[in-house]
Amino acid sequence: MNDEERAVTHGPAPQDTTRGPAHLPVVEAAGIVKRFGQTVALDAARITIRPGETHALVGRNGAGKSTLVSVLTGLQAPDQGTVTFDGRPAPRLTDRDAWRRNVACVYQKSTIIPTLTVAENLFLNRHQHGPARLISWQSLRRRAQELLETWSVHVDAQTLAGDLDVEQRQFIEIARALSFGARFIILDEPTAQLDAAAISRLFDRIRDLQQQDVTFLFISHHLREVYEICDMVTVFRDARHILTAPVAELPRTELVAAMTGEAAADAREDRASSLDTRVPAALSVRDLTSGAYGDVTFQIAAGEIVGLAGAAGSGRTEVAETVVGLRTADSGAVEIAGSRPRAGSVPAALAAGAGFVPQDRHHQGFVPAMSIADNATLSVPRKLSRNGFLSRTRRDRLAAAMIENLAIKTPGPDLPVSALSGGNQQKVVMARALADDPRLLVLINPTAGVDVRSKEFLLDKVEETADTGTGVLIASDELDDLRMCDRILVMFQGRVTNEIARGWHDHDLVAAMEGVDLDA
C-alpha cells in the first residue's frame, strides 16, 4: 500500500506531525459572534473540547447549537471570535480538504447517496485512476473493505447504500469521516431515528473509537443519553455559553436549570372550573398505536387546552397528525366532537369538526403562489359556493373578516402568501384552521419561525378560541407554546409518561420531556 492509499484508508500515518501536542484542545472556539440580520445566533459563545472525550452540547431549540456546528465545520464564518484545531487557527473556508482533516459532522439527515455502493460513497470524488485515467474499481472496493474492517464496520463494500438501515448508514458516514484523517467527529442528533438496541450499539462504537483517540461532540435532546455516554457537557441558552462541566459531577437538576434558566410558568387564570362537561369531548383518543407511538389514550374537553409535549422522536407530532388524518394508526380510535372520522382522511377529520395548523407551514400549510384569500378559504368551499359556483364576493368577504380577525398585515386579500413575512404567513394558516369554527383545534409547533409579537398574538388567539368552547391540542417542544395549557401530556419514546398540571416550572417539564428523573 502506498502512502496515499494509507492516508485515505487509515487517516494520517503514525509519523504525521501535523497534529498538535496531546494536551492541546482538539478544538476551541472563543468569543464567537454570529448574526443573521437582526438575529443574534451566537453571542460571545465558546466551547473547548479535549482529546479523546465525548463532549455533549445541549440546549433548547434556538440556543445556538446548529449555528455553532456550522462554524466548527467551516460552513459559516463567525462575525467575531476564533476557532482553533490542536492549537492552530482554523483553515480558510475555501480549503475544504483541510477542514475535512480536522472535523467531520454526521448529520441527522444522512448524506449517503442511496444509488451508489458503499465503496463509491466512501471514496466519492477520491477515486484512484489507473492507465488511461480509468477508475480501478477493484482497487476501490479493496480500499473500501480495508477501511470498513479498520473501523469495525460490518458491511460489504459492494452493497448498495440504499439497502442499508439508518444505523449502518451512520457507521458508514463515521468511517468516511475518519478516512480523511479527522479524529474529531460531531454527531448531530445521532439517536433520533434509532431504536433502543441500535442506540446501544452506537454507544458501544463510540466507546471503541474513543479508545482509538477519536473525539466526539454529541448533540442530543435526550439528557438521559448525555449521562450515559458523555464525559463533559456544555450548555447553551439564548445564543450564549452557560456552563461546561464534567457530566459525572453535574446533578441533573442543575443541568436542566442551566438549559431553562429556571423561569417559572405564567400564572394564568385556571379555566378548569369553567369547562363544560355536558357536551361531548372535543377529542377522545383510545389505545392509539403505530410504529411511532403506542397505547396513547386521552381526552380533551370542550374549551380545554391540552399540550402534547416531548422531544424530537417522542411521537407527539405523529399522534397529532393521526388525530387530523395525516397518518393512519395501526389500531385504536379517534373521536372528534362525538363522531369518528375515517382514519387517515384529512377531509373526514375537518368535516368532523377539526381545524389544523401543521408543523411545516411552507410545505403543508399554504400554497405560496396563491392569494391570502384563496389560501385562507381552501378548507371551506361550501361557504363560498353559489348555484354550484364559487363566489368571489363571498370569498373576499370571508377573507376580509379573517384578515381583520388575525391582524394580517397586507394591502389586500389578493396578495400572494409568499409575499408575507413569516409571522403573517402563519396567521394565514391559522385563519384557515379557524375558518369553519372548529370544535377541535390541533396545532403542531404553532409559533415556529415567527417573530415575538406574532408569537404572542397567535397564542392569545388560541386562548381566545378555547374560551368559545373549542378544544385545543398543542403538540410542541417549545415551552412558550405550552404555558397556556390546562394540563400537559408528556411523551417519551412513543409513550405518554407524565401528565403535568398547570403551574409547572420549566425545569420540571423539560426533565419529563427528556426522560430524566430529577430524584435519581
Residue 237, number of CB atoms within 10 A of its CB: 18
> How large is the C-alpha radius of gyration of the chain?
26
Tens-digit pLDDT profile for the chain (520 aa)?
444 343 444 443 333 434 455 578 999 999 999 998 878 899 999 999 999 999 999 987 778 898 999 999 999 999 999 999 999 999 999 998 899 889 988 887 777 888 888 888 887 766 665 555 566 677 778 888 887 887 777 888 888 888 888 888 888 888 888 887 788 999 988 877 777 777 888 888 889 888 888 999 999 877 888 999 999 999 999 899 999 999 999 988 888 888 877 543 343 444 554 555 556 799 999 999 999 999 999 999 999 999 999 988 899 999 999 999 999 999 999 999 999 999 999 999 999 999 999 988 878 888 888 888 888 887 777 777 666 667 777 888 888 888 888 888 888 888 988 888 888 889 999 988 898 889 999 999 998 877 777 888 899 999 989 988 899 999 998 888 999 999 999 999 999 999 999 888 888 898 888 887 665 5
Q: Is 218 helix (H, G, I), strand (E, B) or coil?
A: strand
In a domain, 20, yes or no: yes
Q: Give phi and psi for 49, each to the nearest 5.
A: -125, 125
How far apart CA 174 and CA 186 sit, in angstroms, is 9
Asked, for residue 408, whether it belongs to a domain, the answer is: yes
Helices 166-179, 3-10: crossing angle, 10 deg rounding? 140
Q: Are residues 430 and 285 in the same domain?
A: no
Same domain, 219 and 336: no
Q: Which residues contact 216 (CB under 8 A, 6 or more apart)?
A: 53, 54, 55, 184, 185, 186, 187, 206, 209, 210
Q: What is the CATH number of the domain that holds 166?
A: 3.40.50.300
Last residue of a domain, one of 390, 406, 435: 435
**Same domain for 417 and 456:** no
| Residue 407 shares a structural domain with residue 344 | no
Considering the domain boundaries, does residue 291 fall inside one? yes
Closest CA to 319 of 330, 329, 307: 329
Both 335 and 473 in one domain: the answer is: yes
Whether residues 149 and 198 share a domain: the answer is yes
Instruction: Show the cell assigned to 493.
Output: 419514546
- Residue 399 sits in which domain range? 371-435
Other Cβ atoms within 10 Å of 347 Cβ, number: 11
Please indicate, yes or no, whether residues 46 and 106 belong to a single structural domain of this protein: yes
In the block, residue with C-alpha cell 450499539: 201
Residues 239 and 92 in one domain: yes
| Residues 476, 307: Cα–Cα separation, whole Å | 7
Residue 325: inside a domain, yes or no? yes
Would 520 be classed as within a structural domain?
A: no
184-188/215-219 β-pairing: parallel
- Dihedral sign from CA coordinates of 232, 70, 36, 416: negative
Task: Please indicate, yes or no, if residue 476 is contained in any of the structural domains.
Answer: yes
* Model pLDDT for residues 138-193, shown as the tens digit of each residue: 777 888 888 788 777 788 888 888 888 888 888 888 888 888 778 899 998 887 77
* Position 329, amino acid: A
d(CA 42, CA 355): 37
Distance CA 271, CA 443 (A): 20
Domain count, the chain: 3
User: Is the separation of the CB atoms in 364 and 425 below 8 Å?
Assistant: no
Q: Are residue 227 and residue 244 in the same domain, yes or no?
A: yes
Q: Are 183 and 171 in contact (CB under 8 A)?
A: no
Same domain, 456 and 315: yes
Residues 271 and 143 in one domain: no
Residue 93 belongs to some domain of the structure:
yes
| 376 plus 327 within the same structural domain | no
Q: How far apart are the C-alpha atoms of 242 and 275, rounded to whole Å? A: 41
Distance CA 510, CA 505 (A): 9
Over residues 86-139, the pLDDT tens digits come to: 999 999 999 988 998 899 888 877 778 888 888 888 877 666 655 555 666 777
Residue 365: inside a domain = no
